[in-house]
Amino acid sequence: MIDTIFRFAWSIPSLLFAITIHEYAHGMMADYLGDPTPRLSGRLTLNPIAHLDPIGAISLLIFRFGWAKPVPINPLNFKDYRKGMILTALAGPFSNFVSAFLFSWVFKFSMHLLAHIPEAGMSNIASIFARGWLILLVNGVIFNLVLAIFNLIPVPPLDGSMVLFALLPARWEYEIEKYKSYSYIILILLVFTGTISKILYPALNFFIGTFNLLY
């Protein structure tokens, strides 16, 4: 029980970072491309509370897939509607991929340092902190990769659907819009039928393996 609480406690900073950087990247890209909506709505911030969706965060913490509170954007403010939609949608997952790589690099570096410190030479407090630090870094890799991969699935309201709609001809986009109200049902079915897991975990293993090869 104590070990579970310890792991959860050290996982929370990684969770908050992954969610915050994802939504902040969306907002920054939209703002850069001419849409002030994220800034005006107070979402162009690194404050995790502004981006936290409680259910999505708990799901990510427990089930290893989840979401944050979407950043509001107005694509009509983009000079190029389709380009703006695609770049804004991809900014979040891209920021998570970069963050996952950085977390993995720091993890490898930390393991290298700890390997050169005699276990007998570490105090109990230092040993506990080192264990917590490694848990934080491992979860930093996992949470960032999960957010990136999960959000690239082309089902509304996930980022992948924004990219898909922007690439489709206008007439198709209009037809699909009619069925957006059913998107949450589709998403729930994908989760409970195990389809999400079949997409998520092989992709997760692929990226973790790729990071290991880079070192």
- pTM of model > 0.85: yes
Question: From CA 141, how far away is CA 120, in angstroms rounded?
Answer: 29
Domain boundaries, the chain: 2-214
Kindly list the catalytic residues. Answer: 23
Q: How far apart are CA 110 and CA 88, in angstroms?
A: 33
**Residue 124: band (very low, low, confident or very high) from pLDDT cuts 50, 70, 90:** confident
Please say if the pLDDT value at position 175 is more than 80.
Answer: no
What's the CA angle centered on 51, arms 47 and 53, to 5 degrees?
Answer: 135
Q: How confident is the model at residue 79 (pLDDT cuts 50, 70, 90)?
A: very high
pLDDT single digits (tens) 138-167 = 999 999 999 999 899 888 888 998 898 888
Q: Is the pLDDT of residue 76 over 80?
A: yes
Asked if the model's pLDDT at residue 14 lies above 90, the reply is yes
Is 196:190 a contact under the CB 8 Å cutoff? yes
